[in-house]
Amino acid sequence: MPRRTAPAGTDPALARGAAANRGGNGLFRLGPRALAITLAWLRLTAITGQTLAVLFVAYAVPLAIPVHALLAGIGVLLLFEIATVMRLRLGWPVSELEAIGHIAVDVLVLGYLLYLSGGASNPFVTLLLVPIALAAAALSRAGIAAVAVLSGAIYGLLLRWYQPLPAMASGHGADFSLHVIGMAINFAIAALLLGVFIARLAGALRGEQMRLQRLHERALRDEGILAMATQSAGAAHELNTPLATLRMLLHELIPAPSTCEPLRGDLKLMAQQVDRCSEILRELVAVGRAQLDGDCETLGLGAFVRRCTDRFQLLRPEADTDLQLRAEDADLPVRIPAGLQHALINLLNNALDASAQLGSTQVALSARSGVRCLEFRVRDHGPGFADPSRSPDSLGVSGKDHGLGIGLALAEATADRLGGDLDASNAAGGGAEIRLRLPLLALLPERDGKPVPTAMHCIPEETP
């Protein structure tokens, strides 16, 4: 089963965030804030490179250039960089107009520096294309057009108005050699910027596609679960009457003691199962009511997992369940959200079915609390997964002859809804292990209106 990280599940906020990062043409966009951060890093690199270039040309070549005027322009860019870093640390949202303003400052300062150093004849004039490339990946069409018009206007002005570079003392050939060197440096800078930026863009695009795929899969799964829940509500209402009739008849059919002990035992087991079915129906109604009211029962972790194993033993009396719980975790108070108990029972039921394939009745349930998460592990002694990276069960499709194909899907949906994750792997020594991890802070009871800090609880030891 592929690991499902679920910070949002089918949260519409994730969908809105994904939509906000796509432009009108459907391509993935980094967004104004990511663009502002990228510009800040590039601006810092530009300030360093421009300062070194000015000092090198002025004192090492040497060439009579307006050093102080050039350094003043770089100083303005440095002040703007400091202001930008302080602003980005505030965490306020960055609008597209503000991002365009950042690009405008960079373009104008670059145009000023090019005006003092040869205008359009300066080999670094092609750096005016970099802001357009950045804008194309982060802004709307209107924003891209604005940046392109500004860069094009600066380039056009530099064709007509600029201060030519003074000739070098060694003659025209030396001037051309310096121009070629500048073109080579400019090519290296452009190649580096485009390579790094395109690699980052491709990685972000792949990540966004994976998030959208997970979102689509969860939406399909949740639609199926919702359809089944709707049908289950109607079925639960209809089943209440025949179950009450069966319960009454079974209790009347149970013979007196010592008359027919085998039949008496079977009928008592049937009556217990009917009572359990009625109890499950009542629990369904209670879970739905708790979900609507937002109420959660608070229990010790030990009491909760023992209740889960007790309920599981009623469903599967043949199971040999091994409960593993550290003494320091047993008294940890946790809020039990709706559906968590059913998720663990579903995982235990699947584990017992897997163990039965090799003639075993052993399953294990462990619970461990850590600094950030509460982890449940369900272990079976079956054949394990042929390919642990693929889900052995999906909604409506079961690998068992008598299965409904909803156990793991419901457990995974519960993990997503609670902000956790569910994954599986083959266990050392045979069998498989399912891990259900939930954020501990969301499960701790409140004290004075505030959750208990997770640091109050121990860090789990690393286990294989």
CB 137 within 8 A of CB 201: yes
Which pair of structure tokens corresponds to residue 356? 């039965």
Tokens representing residue 242 in the block? 């025949």
Higher pLDDT, 71 or 289: 71
pLDDT of residue 57: 82
Which of 419, 391, 418, 416 shows the shortest CA–CA distance to 405?
391
Per mean pLDDT, which range of 44-53, 260-269, 326-335, 453-462 is the poorest?
A: 453-462
Report whether pLDDT(27) > 60. no
Residues 6+ apart with CB under 8 A from 258: none
pLDDT at 35: 86
What average pLDDT does the structure give for the chain?
76
Q: Which two tokens stand for residue 262?
A: 């085998």
Residues 60-76 have a mean pLDDT of 88
Handedness of CA 61, 64, 66, 68 (dihedral sign): positive
Residues 6 or more apart whose CB falls under 8 angstroms from that of 418 comprise 337, 340, 438, 439, 442
CA distance to 4, 45, 328, 343, 416, per residue, from 211 (Å): 11, 32, 38, 24, 14
Q: What is the CA radius of gyration of the chain?
A: 34
Residue 20 pLDDT > 70: no
Say what the pLDDT of residue 104 is: 95
CATH architecture group of domain 296-456: 2-Layer Sandwich (3.30)
- The confidence score (pLDDT) of residue 334 equals 87
Task: Say if CB 376 and CB 422 are below 8 A apart.
Answer: no
Question: Quick one: pLDDT at residue 293?
Answer: 55
53 near 73, Cβ under 8 Å? Answer: no
The answer for residues whose C-beta is within 8 angstroms of residue 139's C-beta and 6 or more apart is 23, 29, 32, 35, 96, 99, 100, 147
pLDDT in tens, 350-399: 899 889 989 899 999 999 988 888 999 999 998 887 765 554 444 444 44
Rounded CA gap, 66 and 421, in Å?
61
DSSP strand pairing (373-380 vs 362-369): antiparallel
Res 230: pLDDT: 61
Average pLDDT over residues 93-102: 92
Distance between CA 348 and CA 309 in Å, rounded? 8
Question: Percent of the chain having pLDDT more than 90?
Answer: 19
CB 441 within 8 A of CB 356: no
- Whether 124 and 183 have beta carbons less than 8 Å apart is answered as no
Q: What is the pTM of this model?
A: 0.48
Residues with Cβ < 8 Å from 460, sequence gap 6 or more?
368, 369, 370, 375
- State how far the alpha carbon of 320 is from the alpha carbons of 79, 313, 352, 366, in Å: 71, 9, 9, 14
415/438 Cα distance (integer angstroms): 7
Judge contact between 278 and 246, C-beta under 8 A: no
Query: What is the model's pLDDT at position 311?
Result: 85
At 449 the pLDDT is 47
Place of tokens 């009625």: 278
Indicate if the alpha-carbon torsion angle 395, 396, 400, 403 is positive or negative.
positive
How far apart, in whole angstroms, are the C-alpha atoms of residue 245 and residue 148? 79
CB contact set of 83 (below 8 Å; sequence gap of 6+): none
Asked whether 304 and 414 are in contact (CB, 8 A), the reply is no
Q: Where are the beta strands (DSSP E) in 344-431?
A: 362-369, 373-380, 421-426
Joined tokens for residue 263: 């039949």
For 127-153, write each residue's pLDDT tens digit.
888 888 888 878 889 999 999 999 999
Cis omega (within 30 of 0) for bond into 337: no
Asked whether the predicted pLDDT for residue 171 surpasses 70, the reply is no
| Digit-coded pLDDT (tens) for 391-406 | 444 444 444 544 445 6
Farthest-apart Cα atoms in the chain, separation: 123
Look-up of token digits 């860069």: 151
Q: Give mean pLDDT, residues 252-281.
A: 74
Burial of 188 (0-12, 13-18, 19+ CB in 10 A): exposed
Residue 118 has pLDDT above 60, yes or no: yes
Residues 326, 300: contact at Cβ < 8 Å? no
Query: Residue 9 is encoded by which pair of tokens?
Result: 């599940």
Q: What's the gap between Cα 454 and its chain centre?
A: 21
Cα–Cα distances in Å, from 315 out to 31, 95, 349, 436? Answer: 52, 57, 9, 21
Task: Specify the pLDDT at position 257.
Answer: 66
Which tokens in the block code for residue 228?
């089944």
- pLDDT category, 457, cuts 50, 70, 90? very low
* Position 221 pLDDT exceeds 80: no
